[in-house]
Amino acid sequence: MTTPGASGQTARPIKGPSPLIAIEDEPGPKLVVDLPLPEPLSHGLVFIQYRAENICIVSVFGGGALQVSPCVGCVHVTVDDLPWHFIDKSGETLTIVGLAAGRHKVLLE
């Protein structure tokens, strides 16, 4: 075990803020989404990598989720502007299969 700061490195930049202490003036959540991976896409598989900033992607729902600090939530996924969406709460690469050949629109929020 090393002394905090002895090596000049800390856990916070990697792990984020402690979930045990409320964050004052918490910045809003941000979603960074990559283009679909080209190799799987050429076989009709849509793999989209993303990462979330200032929010922990977890399986939590309801009004209580709005009161948690740091912020928690899930990703809403809409395909081709359809009136329904699905939820990703894994925080991992999004996988979509079974779409007809051709161009599609995928929205992550």
The pLDDT score that the predictor gives to residue 77 is: 96
With beta carbons less than 8 A apart as the criterion, state whether 50 and 108 touch.
Answer: yes
Task: Please state whether beta strands 56-57 and 50-53 pair in parallel, antiparallel, or not at all (unpaired).
Answer: unpaired
Choose among 90, 60, 40, 26: nearest CA to 108.
90
Its pTM surpasses 0.95: no
Q: Residues 60-78: pLDDT tens digits?
A: 767 776 666 667 778 999 9
